[in-house]
Structure 1
Amino acid sequence: MKLLNTEIKNAVLQSMIDNLDKNRDAIIAANKRDLDAFDRDDQALYDRLVVDSAKVDDMIRAVKEVKDQDDPVGTVISEDKLENGLHITNKAAPFGTIMIIYESRPDVTIEAAVLAFKANNKILLKGGKEAHHSNEELVKCWHQSLQDNGLAESWIQYLKMDRPTTQEFLRNPDQPLDLIVPRGGEKLIGFVKEHAKCAVLVSGRGNNFAYIAPDADMEKVIPVLINAKTDKISGCNALDKILVDENHPKFEETLRAIEKALTDKGVQIVASGKVIGQLETNEKIDNEDVWYEEFLAMKAAMTSVNGLDDAIDFINKYSGGHSNIILTETQADAEKFMEQIDSAAVYHNASTRFTDGGQMGVGAELAISTDKLHHRGPLGLKQLVTNKYYVLGNGQVRK
């Protein structure tokens, strides 16, 4: 793949900033067509679909952030000279062609493309049909920006495919594919893993947990839980499950205080048989599958655990490996929890809503990876490269 210099890449991104602003009304009008055709029964997906003027401003901000970041391609990771005279340099290099499959969110059409392009990758965008008109308008802006700077539209491609066509493309792509990122629910991820013939980097589900320790400070607990649960229910970093330690000196009072604080904000509480007798809700959890479920709704599940180890085991069994919280005033317990919980982000006395590229200093993100290879957490510009060894010799042979 041809390596573009930083100046031409940044020129394309500046053109994109201008084109997004210039075509703001057309983008919002295209989005309205998508919104009008969408079934609002799924509020979380509807929220993700909306593009208004403020969202266009966010898109512009994301492009500008990436434009202002250092180009990762060619960055020296390590350098060494061996006794035999070989000079070995390990440098960051593009993946090549990345495909992202995503649902609903038109802003992914901006963030995924800007990151992939700045990291010198081609990107294939397979958005959901519910955002078709929005995505087409945004890709027009990308293609105009590429044309403005003498580059081929093939750097950023929009794929209009139904499920069977997508399945066949994954099995037999008509061009080289180096990495696929499925950004959506379990069914989408399973579909891609089943059919893809190249590396798949999973942007996993949320299903995030909070553990309330016996010494938790309720002045921290309530605001953190409310923010994590209600700030944005459609976010993969939203809270779904709450575990209260049964050794808490005010166990029942704590359960009821948490329930009241959340129900006052409109959250539906479901509870296990272990705690439902202490709560106002009569919605009992009878199916274990609920603990594996990502709600994407104003809904939270509550139960109790017996100690820190029980909490760790419970979370590691059921969570999506995304973001989990411990609320405690004991530093040693917090450290043990954070070391032993198997997730992309672990929190002590803070909301899971901070698992976000912008909030974590990464800037625009392609996704939140719950995989362990090659990166876990927000996938920003620095994470959209692989590496290559450059070995300079003078006739050396291995003996």
Structure 2
Amino acid sequence: MNTLLSLETRNAVLLKMAALLEQERAEIIKINKADLEAYDGNDISMHDRLKVDDSKVDEMIASVTHLASQEDPVGVERFQFKHDNGMQVYNKTASFGTVLIIYESRPDVTVEAAGIAFKSGNKILLKGGKESLNSNLKIVELWHQALKANQASSDWVEYLQFNRTETQAFLEKPTQKVDLIVPRGGEKLIAFVKQHASCPVIISGRGNNFVYVHKDANWDIALKLILNGKTAKISACNAIDKVIIDKNLPKKDEFIKTLISKLKEFDVQILGDEALLKQDGVEPIPADSTWYEEFLDYKIAIGEIDSNADAIAMINKYSGGHSSVIVTTDNKEAKTFMENVDTAAVYHNASSRFTDGSQLGLGGELAISTDKLHQRGPIGLQHLVTNKWYVHGTGQIR
């Protein structure tokens, strides 16, 4: 086990990493271009996640710089108690130890997730997808330079070049101690990790997020939020896949017509339930299972719903437990929706695209958890810790 580095050393490594990312910017983009050219898949969301351009490098630099400015998440007192016998009891945050991050195609995770895990005092094992191998290796090389420049062991950040079989073997019988695994990627990856892991796993689950257009919705807000949620970034887990419209919405058909024409401007494929099929450009929803699907594509399913209670029930049945939105001018109805919808983030008149660590004030995230245990929603720096009891005595026995 690596001895916890001082806060000053951890921050210095992060700032050095920021400087190296700036210095090697052109090289990172060049190496990433080779990864992009070698990617022969036709998954547009995968291609989008794989790409590193200037703005992506800017985000990486901003992420580690911000982390260096944040308070130490380790050793924070959560509780204290003075025992009748004079013992002084404290509960404080503590590092997990070693965190394994398994992810697909996103070189920025090699910076952001590793940075969060490192700042919270953990050793990081990175297992990226084969499609981003060269980009990832270059970034890990910079981590090692940043660590060595601050007399810290390069062991703090390690890249695992494993194929699927080797990954499975490592999950089942790790060749080194692993305290926590965070898989970031599609449902297949998550299911694979859950099936084989021999230590706790934080599930960074699927999206399949819903917008409920309540009967008292403001049209402009509803249209804006749906378009932003669906078209701004189709590869994001906080994108919108489903829209349910209250059948009592005034001038409902006119609203639906407007929504369809705006979605068509972005070439979005529109699936609709029976009530929607009378509109032009709408295809039937192929099966009930479509309501469970996360599309990660220019594709949306739209249906009608009878009431707020039915919207809540539908979202709780079909959504991925990630984010949900109600559009309404009725605050009481919004409160009912927000309290009863079982997703990690609930929105009233705002876009689901804000379910993101940096947007919600955490300065970045390791993942977005759809689990309820440990931490739900974006996992920031202050959540990547466990806790420990510190008990000070003078010889007390029980």
> Shorter-chain TM-score category?
over 0.9
What corresponds to 2:395 in structure 1? 395
- Residue 347 in structure 1 maps to residue 352 in structure 2: no
SS in structure 2 at match of 1:199:
coil
Structure 1 partner of 2:205? 204
- 1:187 is aligned to 2:205: no
Q: Structure 1 vs Structure 2: percent identity of aligned residues?
A: 53
On the 8 A contact 1:66/1:118 being kept in 2, the answer is yes
Tell me the number of residue pairs that the alignment of Structure 1 and Structure 2 aligns.
397
| Residues 271, 281 of structure 1: 8 Å contact kept | no
Determine the C-alpha separation between the residues in 1 that align with 2:243 and 2:7: 47
Alignment partner of 2:275: what SS?
A: coil
State the one-letter code of the partner of 2:30.
Answer: A
Mapped to 2, the partners of 1:32 and 1:88 lie a distance apart of 55
Q: Tell me the TM-score normalised to structure 1 length.
A: 0.97
Q: In structure 2, what is the Cα distance between the partners aligned to 1:331 and 1:55?
A: 38
Q: Is the 8 A contact 2:96 2:385 kept in 1?
A: yes
Question: What letter is aligned with 2:188?
Answer: K
Match of 2:92 in 1: 91
Q: CA RMSD in A?
A: 1.1
> Per-residue CA shift, 1:320-372, capped at 9, x if unaligned?
11110001111111001100111110000111011111111101211111111
* 1:281-320 aligned within 5 A: 281-320=281-320
Which residue of structure 1 lines up, in the alignment, with residue 166 of structure 2? 165
Tell me by how many angstroms 1:280 deviates: 1.2
1:10-49 correspondence to structure 2 within 5 Å: 10-39=11-40, 41-49=42-50
- The answer on whether the counterparts of 2:276 and 2:282 sit within 8 Å (CA) in structure 1 is no
What is the correspondence of 1:1-399 to structure 2 with a 5 Å cutoff? Answer: 1=1, 2-39=3-40, 41-277=42-278, 279-398=279-398
Q: 2:94, 2:215 → 1: CA distance?
A: 49
Could you tell me which runs of 5 or more consecutive residues in structure 2 were left unpaired when the two chains were aligned.
none
Separation of aligned partners in 2, 1:314 and 1:53: 41
AA partner of residue 332 (structure 1) = K
Shift of 1:289: 1.5
Could you tell me which amino acid in structure 1 is paired with residue 250 of structure 2? P
Query: Per the alignment, in what secondary structure is the counterpart of residue 294 of structure 2?
Result: coil
Contact 1:215 1:329 in 2 (8 A): yes
Q: Distance in 2 between matches of 1:302 and 1:319?
A: 14
- Alpha-carbon distance in structure 2 between the residues aligned to 1:32 and 1:282: 38
SS at 2:101's partner residue? Answer: strand
Residue 254 of structure 2 aligns with an amino acid whose one-letter code is E
- Code of the aligned partner of 1:221: A
Partner SS state of residue 283, structure 2: coil
**CA offset digits 1:191-214 (Å, max 9, x no partner):** 000000100000111110000111
Mean CA deviation greater in 91-100 or 39-48: 39-48
Output one character per residue of 1:272-309: Cα deviation in whole Å (capped at 9) or x when no partner. 223212x2124111211111111111111001111011
**Per-residue deviation, 1:53:** 2.0
- How far the C-alpha of 1:263 sits from its partner, in A, is 1.4
